């Protein structure tokens, strides 16, 4: 039975080849001082940086910058950005990049005016944001996280070897996002497929929960069909505009909180993957793929009906003459074949994980209760061993 919920998402999206044309008029809705955040400099090589600086200057903006935002943003980098944002009293943070830059910018937006350590308050104690929040806008260059239309922010504490995701209140959701699929064409293959698998994992982790006949499940099955089809087209031709636009749009809808409504959700794959990422600093999508199949095979007996439905409705498995368990396993095998087709990491060893790391990784895995099986710490370690 679909429960009671409230759905609200304030992000204004500009989508398509000419989406960047809308940035200038949108900037007029904000004050004069803008903090521009971006990663390792690829936006300068592609010319996007110059285009955005020109738009900002045309609109009379004063710009300060934070560059070098890493794929797994660190709390140390958040401290740096927060100091710059506060000292310059910026009116808007403009994130140009993928999910990491967007996550980072949201972390800065809540941390700049926090009067205590934002790691301790927001990521460790998970307390509410009571201070001023700086608005965030996004120009997206890599898809996968859906961070352009949600309030999530994942930050790494390198010293503690912890990678923690926090979902903030609605006022942290980006106010606007510019989505031009062509800006994703220059991504290296590893990042492209990592983003694609991150999208699939987001959908799965909401889909594999609950036993009711939920509209969200039908929507998610459609999203998965689109993603699988478009991913294969993008592998053949990374500049296939239709494929890349479908992937970009699917990523946004996979995690803008729409399909989670009425679902308990099961984010344990992300809990495993984030802890692995804290030890390896690997591409996020690959940390997820390395643990996915061992985790789902472990919980399959507890959510058999949904895994059977997944096999039939998403992967086209024929159930004739087979047990429910056989059908469900064929579905996971089909997903595994697709993951290999993409070139995803299929075990932790591929990411450089060694046996001596496993106890620390296990300690960093937060146990959640939304799925078909609530794990204990021994089971967490068992799944990690199976992922090797």
Closest CA relative to residue 163, chosen from 151, 150, 154, 175: 154
Tell me the per-residue pLDDT of 178-217, one tens digit each, with 9 for 90 and over: 999 999 998 899 999 999 999 999 999 999 999 999 999 9
Q: Is 328 helix (H, G, I), strand (E, B) or coil?
A: helix
Pairing of strands 152-157, 162-167: antiparallel
Q: Do 70 and 116 touch, CB atoms closer than 8 A?
A: no
Backbone angles phi, psi at 213, to 5 degrees: -90, 95
Look at the block and give the residue holding tokens 């010319």: 47
What pLDDT, on a 0 to 100 scale, did the predictor assign at position 323?
A: 98
Backbone angles phi, psi at 97, to 5 degrees: 155, -150
Q: What is the mean pLDDT of the chain?
A: 96
What number of other Cβ atoms are within 10 A of residue 2's Cβ?
A: 13
Cα(85)–Cα(79) distance, integer angstroms: 10
Q: What percent of the chain has pLDDT over 90?
A: 95
Q: Do 193 and 344 touch, CB atoms closer than 8 A?
A: yes
Largest CA distance in the chain: 69
Q: What is the pTM of this model?
A: 0.94
Confidence of residue 1 (pLDDT cuts 50, 70, 90): low
Tell me the per-residue pLDDT of 247-266, one tens digit each, with 9 for 90 and over: 999 999 999 999 999 899 99
Cα(246)–Cα(279) distance, integer angstroms: 33
Cα(45)–Cα(387) distance, integer angstroms: 38
CA atoms within 13 A on the CB side of 110: 31
Closest CA relative to residue 274, chosen from 99, 90, 41, 68: 99
pLDDT higher than threshold 90 for residue 366: yes
Can you name the residues that pair with 140 across neighbouring β-strands?
97, 179
Can you name the residues that pair with 164 across neighbouring β-strands?
155
What pLDDT, on a 0 to 100 scale, did the predictor assign at position 280?
A: 93
Q: Do 101 and 69 touch, CB atoms closer than 8 A?
A: yes
The helix (run of H) or strand (run of E) holding residue 309 is: helix 304-315
pLDDT higher than threshold 70 for residue 226: yes
Tell me the per-residue pLDDT of 286-296, one tens digit each, with 9 for 90 and over: 999 999 999 99
Tell me the per-residue pLDDT of 367-382, one tens digit each, with 9 for 90 and over: 999 999 999 999 999 9
Backbone angles phi, psi at 34, to 5 degrees: -125, 130
Q: Is 13 helix (H, G, I), strand (E, B) or coil?
A: strand
Look at the block and give the residue holding tokens 């031709």: 237
Q: Terminal CA-to-CA distance of the chain, rounded, Å?
A: 38
Q: Where are the alpha helices (DSSP H) in the chain?
A: 23-27, 42-45, 48-58, 75-87, 99-111, 118, 189-207, 215-236, 241-254, 268-280, 284-299, 304-315, 324-342, 358-363, 377-386
Closest CA relative to residue 308, chosen from 296, 319, 299, 298: 319
Cα(32)–Cα(11) distance, integer angstroms: 21
Token couple for 154: 């994942």
Structure letter (DSSP) for residue 149 = G
Token couple for 137: 């806008």
Cα(345)–Cα(120) distance, integer angstroms: 32
Task: Show the domains of the chain with their CATH numbers.
Answer: 12-183 (3.40.50.1970), 189-386 (1.20.1090.10)
Cα(282)–Cα(300) distance, integer angstroms: 27
C-alpha 362: how far from chain center: 21
pLDDT higher than threshold 80 for residue 2: no
Tell me the per-residue pLDDT of 144-158, one tens digit each, with 9 for 90 and over: 989 999 999 999 999
Cα(320)–Cα(312) distance, integer angstroms: 11
Can you name the residues that pair with 34 across neighbouring β-strands?
63, 92
């Amino acid at each position: 039975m679909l429960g009671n919920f409230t759905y609200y998402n304030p992000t204004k999206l500009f989508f398509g080849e000419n989406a960047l044309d809308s940035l200038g008029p949108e900037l007029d809705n904000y004050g004069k001082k803008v903090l521009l955040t971006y990663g390792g400099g690829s936006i300068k090589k592609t010319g996007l940086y110059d285009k955005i600086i020109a738009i900002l200057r045309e609109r009379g903006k004063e710009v300060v910058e934070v560059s070098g935002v890493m794929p797994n943003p660190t709390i140390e980098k958040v401290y740096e950005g927060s100091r710059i944002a506060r000292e310059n009293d910026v009116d808007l943070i403009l994130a140009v990049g993928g999910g990491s830059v967007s996550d980072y910018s949201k972390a800065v937006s809540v941390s700049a005016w926090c009067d205590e350590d934002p790691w301790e308050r927001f990521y460790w104690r998970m307390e509410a944001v009571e201070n001023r929040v700086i608005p965030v806008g996004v120009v997206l260059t890599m898809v996968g996280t859906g961070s352009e239309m949600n309030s999530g922010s994942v930050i790494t504490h390198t010293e503690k070897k912890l990678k923690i995701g926090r979902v903030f209140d609605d006022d942290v959701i980006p106010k606007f996002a510019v989505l031009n699929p062509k800006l994703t064409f220059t991504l290296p293959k590893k990042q492209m497929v990592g983003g694609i698998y991150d999208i699939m994992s987001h959908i799965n982790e909401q889909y594999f929960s609950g036993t009711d006949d939920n509209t969200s499940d039908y929507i998610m099955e459609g999203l998965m069909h689109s993603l699988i089809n478009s991913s294969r087209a993008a592998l053949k031709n990374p500049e296939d505009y239709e494929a890349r636009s479908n992937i970009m749009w699917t990523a946004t809808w996979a995690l803008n909180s729409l399909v989670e409504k009425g679902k308990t959700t099961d984010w344990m794959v992300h809990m495993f993957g984030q802890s692995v990422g804290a030890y390896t600093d690997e591409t996020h999508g690959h940390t997820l793929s390395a643990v996915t199949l061992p985790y789902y095979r472990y919980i399959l007996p507890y959510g058999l009906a949904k895994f059977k439905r997944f096999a039939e409705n998403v992967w086209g498995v024929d159930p004739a003459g087979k047990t429910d368990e056989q059908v469900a396993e064929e579905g996971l095998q089909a997903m595994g074949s697709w993951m290999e087709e993409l070139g995803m990491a299929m075990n932790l060893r591929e990411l450089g994980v060694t046996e001596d790391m496993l106890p620390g990784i296990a300690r960093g895995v937060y146990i959640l209760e939304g799925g078909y099986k609530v794990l204990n710490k021994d089971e967490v370690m068992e799944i990690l061993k199976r992922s090797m």
